[in-house]
Amino acid sequence: KAGVTQTPRYLIKTRGQQVTLSCSPISGHRSVSWYQQTPGQGLQFLFEYFSETQRNKGNFPGRFSGRQFSNSRSEMNVSTLELGDSALYLCASSRGLRTGTNYGYTFGSGTRLTVV
């Protein structure tokens, strides 16, 4: 069974540019969540998508946005990049159902974004 696939693995962008990251969840998982990981702030929740709808949102500015497609693949976009956006961006998928057992997340390997 294929895992969670994130592309690209590494990305270098210039301040002011925009970037799009992609995540393909495990087959059958309908929920995709995005996290920003930095040494100083740890794991910070960006947003979660379930069946093409944003279901939960963290405390990030509007420059951070996402979407989910009908096949559950998700993209995350950051516009007008700032130096502070340099981080590891992790995608995590789960069944996302509101009933039943919570088996936790399956994470992708992340995209390392460097803003220069």
Compute the least distance from the CB of residue 22 to other proteins, in Å: 16
Here's the x/- map for other proteins, 85-104, by CB under 8 A: it reads as ---x-x-x-x-x-xx-xxxx
Judge whether 6 and 111 are in contact, CB under 8 Å: yes
The encoded tokens of residue 111 equal 């995209």
Judge whether 29 and 95 are in contact, CB under 8 Å: yes
Interaction of residue 59 with other proteins, rule CB under 8 A: no
Here's the x/- map for other proteins, 20-49, by CB under 8 A: it reads as -----------x-x--------xx-x--x-
Q: What is the largest CA-CA distance in the chain?
A: 45
Judge whether 36 and 59 are in contact, CB under 8 Å: no
Interaction of residue 60 with other proteins, rule CB under 8 A: no
The encoded tokens of residue 74 equal 């998700």
Using CB under 8 A as the criterion, which residues of the chain lie in contact with other proteins when the complex forms? Answer: 31, 33, 42-43, 45, 48, 50, 55-56, 88, 90, 92, 94, 96, 98-99, 101-110, 112
